[in-house]
Structure 1
């Protein structure tokens, strides 16, 4: 990848590779400071954990994803709510996503070099599916990124950036190829896969589901392609929460969910008024899971998004609600994709007139009920479903708000969907607000459309960086993704 990446990646990789490839994280007893023999199983565990640790960390999901989705608002550190990018966090996110990609690519290289691993075909397919997942997150975050030249270690330390459109085309083709390559009758990972324990059928289901995510995201720029992909794959995608793709964290260090308060109180974030007020207005029974009562009042109270710590209207911290205890649990799973998202994708597909087996209203209700079930919410579900009916003439707002609620706490995915659908409340009122104190970036007053490239790219990969910045219309937070038409 980048020169800095090549210099520092291998020491970092060895730290993650140390983790034994095992069926459960609680089998990992290796000293993380001592290298061990690299194998596909070790690399898979390292890649899965490394990616989830950064996608759900305080610094990346907390200060970027959850803020840009407007689920949370900053406590004492409010610049992130006002869209000031912390360059250290930004660089770490970029670098460690590529570290995970490198781990996954190494699995394929090791299997191809050995020539005698009977599980190689399935292992390579699983690694490739995970690569697609990570590349989509990267391109949706930055737009054009190093892709086709990105993982050629030593051969090209200044890789070109591929266009987002070409990356999407490649990712869709790649997933379809992996579906064909996966063979439940052949050996697979017997250890190391924390997400599905090497279950080839589950990985195939995930590949079909990720195709739906890719396709619906390009629905406004490549509708015929999106329609064809969704209609071809929806029947083989997830059908219940039993298919969910999640990384199972444990209650013991060092394998706890990265953003947890099991050992210390996390004071960085309050839930936003955007989330709390909307959920209160619809009597959403998930609110008690998503947020906890404020210490001073016993009530769930959000903080206005982006409000300054010194604003005179702001009350003492104990008057606002922190995220829910389950969200901050040591065993909160790292979510890759869940069935509620699939149901809402199919609701939107049906609303667009595509053939997905059921009408939009049925998929919409299935998505809400699956989200409730995911959080073990049972009381008040029927009443809630009846109070937020599907409306065909307002499908974008109706589906958009419920999908946004169901994606909590997947900050990055919720941010991408906020940009793509540009939805409001079902009554047409604005759901999201600009930062209360005004954006620190005057070009982005509402929400960033992307992350700017890490500063190191400007010097370590200068020519490719300049071309990429020019190709996308400028390296600013206001530059839109290829798929973002509204």
Structure 2
């Protein structure tokens, strides 16, 4: 971690944290970030939530990394990202923003509150902050592998060591369990500042149980016994409907719009990929017209993944489809985790033999939840049941092929959560139902010699090689080399 992550001015912190204020409603913004010297806990929470969502759904990070690596999108004018030439500026901003803004705000919030834990609601506030930390640390550990954790915010330490990613996972699982025990629905939490759940303690408790499931399913091949016990212990208290979804609701006014929107300009950076379009067409997926816009001739057409600008087979831009209008909406929510993901986790857990109910039922619940989510987001109403039933008949559950069946539908349901979808792609290694390849090979060779099909991780920041060299070298050696082809600890099975 660089000096800039840990040593920066209070003004910079407040500029980052107070883009939103801690109001109950995002519309009620009336706070001058230049006057105060210390941000209060509600402002810090809002800044942490917004900072993380802004970077995770930015076109530069989600678009060129997550959405590319999950093969939802293909680059238009800029195609080297599709061929795995990592933009170091985008990489640095992802790392620095999650640490410098979001995690730092949460750490500051917890430290400010700790002397006041006996006051009503303060323990709930700290628990919510720690649950949010667990969400962010998992993203970092899944994107990079070993990361700074135990020494991250030690005041005098500007060169923190990297902790083993498995150790971070175990610490965060313990953390989530502790916060579940701490959360008290009989007391208040945040009266303002919580954009995700408006301080609803029961909702945060459900999210903590659900994040336990996400952690556990991702590590299940590395530690099936522990993962299984966690899933069986927490699944009944996790999300149970779309009403439980954890998301950051943006509004249609600057600077609080969805980070990647076309309200000021037409966005032409990405086309949807043939990977996604061709599969969705093959099963008549009712979400296709939401995920993508029609191109020339009122048809939806994806662009081959990794196709360079000068390729003679490449058609003019009007022939390819851009992502759907909802994805470019100023009010598109930033999704932290949703009910559909929980159901697909449970479908996989049941398929692996865990005592969590019927795999086929969870699988159908996951598909239904996803379709209803998108229909309600775009039309205000859930999907007609006949549309859902028709689609379910086209993509039936097959216990003998559970990995491909569940993996493909979970991949579709995670759109546009590029990073989470990429992590699942590398973890589960699924194909189309029946075993045919789902993900296309690159139209042109990879520009990274360590990667052929898909990166398994992002490389560490270049600045770490000069400013934190000893810890960087130790971390690189511990994971097996600082390359995008190095598999994470849970991918080596």
Normalising by structure 1, report the TM-score.
Answer: 0.97
Task: Look up the match of 1:166.
Answer: 167
After TM superposition, give the deviation of residue 118 of structure 1 in Å. Answer: 2.5
Task: Look up the match of 1:422.
Answer: 429
Distance 1:293-1:165 versus aligned 2 partners, 3 A rule: same
Q: Mean Cα displacement is larger for which, 386-395 or 107-116?
A: 107-116
Q: How many residues matched? A: 483
After TM superposition, give the deviation of residue 143 of structure 1 in Å. Answer: 0.3
Task: Look up the match of 1:237.
Answer: 238
Q: Is the 8 A contact 2:88 2:461 kept in 1?
A: yes
After TM superposition, give the deviation of residue 37 of structure 1 in Å. Answer: 4.5
Task: Look up the match of 2:399.
Answer: 392
After TM superposition, give the deviation of residue 181 of structure 1 in Å. Answer: 0.5
Q: Is the 8 A contact 2:52 2:97 kept in 1?
A: yes
Task: Look up the match of 2:145.
Answer: 143
Mapped to 2, the partners of 1:42 and 1:423 lie a distance apart of 41
Q: Mean Cα displacement is larger for which, 29-38 or 279-288?
A: 29-38
Task: Look up the match of 2:51.
Answer: 50
- SS of corresponding position for 1:306: coil
Distance 1:9-1:347 versus aligned 2 partners, 3 A rule: farther
After TM superposition, give the deviation of residue 485 of structure 1 in Å. Answer: 2.9
Task: Look up the match of 1:360.
Answer: 359
Q: Mean Cα displacement is larger for which, 124-133 or 37-46?
A: 37-46
Q: Is the 8 A contact 1:347 1:360 kept in 2?
A: yes
Q: Is the 8 A contact 1:420 1:485 kept in 2?
A: no
Mapped to 2, the partners of 1:12 and 1:51 lie a distance apart of 16
The 5 Å alignment of 1:95-110 reads 95-99=96-100, 100-110=102-112
The 5 Å alignment of 1:297-336 reads 297-336=297-336
Distance 1:430-1:34 versus aligned 2 partners, 3 A rule: farther
Report the RMSD for the aligned CA atoms in angstroms. Answer: 1.3
Task: Look up the match of 2:370.
Answer: 371
Distance 1:390-1:9 versus aligned 2 partners, 3 A rule: farther
The 5 Å alignment of 1:72-471 reads 72-99=73-100, 100-114=102-116, 117-152=119-154, 154-294=155-295, 296-356=296-356, 358-376=357-375, 377-378=383-384, 380-471=387-478
Mapped to 1, the partners of 2:245 and 2:121 lie a distance apart of 24
Q: Is the 8 A contact 1:41 1:189 kept in 2?
A: yes
After TM superposition, give the deviation of residue 227 of structure 1 in Å. Answer: 0.4
1:418-454 CA distances to partner (integer Å, 9 max, x unpaired)? 0000000002110012321111012201100000001
Mapped to 2, the partners of 1:469 and 1:50 lie a distance apart of 28
Q: Which runs of 5+ in 1 are unaligned?
A: none
After TM superposition, give the deviation of residue 86 of structure 1 in Å. Answer: 0.4
- SS of corresponding position for 2:416: coil
Q: Is the 8 A contact 2:10 2:38 kept in 1?
A: no
Mapped to 1, the partners of 2:217 and 2:460 lie a distance apart of 25
Q: Mean Cα displacement is larger for which, 421-430 or 112-121?
A: 112-121
Task: Look up the match of 1:30.
Answer: 31
Q: Is the 8 A contact 2:188 2:199 kept in 1?
A: no
Normalising by structure 2, report the TM-score.
Answer: 0.96
Q: Is the 8 A contact 2:456 2:486 kept in 1?
A: yes
Mapped to 2, the partners of 1:472 and 1:29 lie a distance apart of 47
Task: Look up the match of 2:378.
Answer: none
Distance 1:411-1:31 versus aligned 2 partners, 3 A rule: same
After TM superposition, give the deviation of residue 120 of structure 1 in Å. Answer: 1.4
Q: Is the 8 A contact 2:244 2:338 kept in 1?
A: yes
1:338-391 CA distances to partner (integer Å, 9 max, x unpaired)? 0000000000000000001x2100000000000000001436221110110000
Mapped to 2, the partners of 1:34 and 1:336 lie a distance apart of 31
Q: Which runs of 5+ in 2 are unaligned?
A: 376-382
Q: Mean Cα displacement is larger for which, 12-21 or 159-168?
A: 12-21
Structure 1 segments, 4+ long, off by >6 Å, are none
Q: Is the 8 A contact 1:16 1:32 kept in 2?
A: no
Mapped to 1, the partners of 2:109 and 2:56 lie a distance apart of 21
Mapped to 2, the partners of 1:46 and 1:171 lie a distance apart of 21
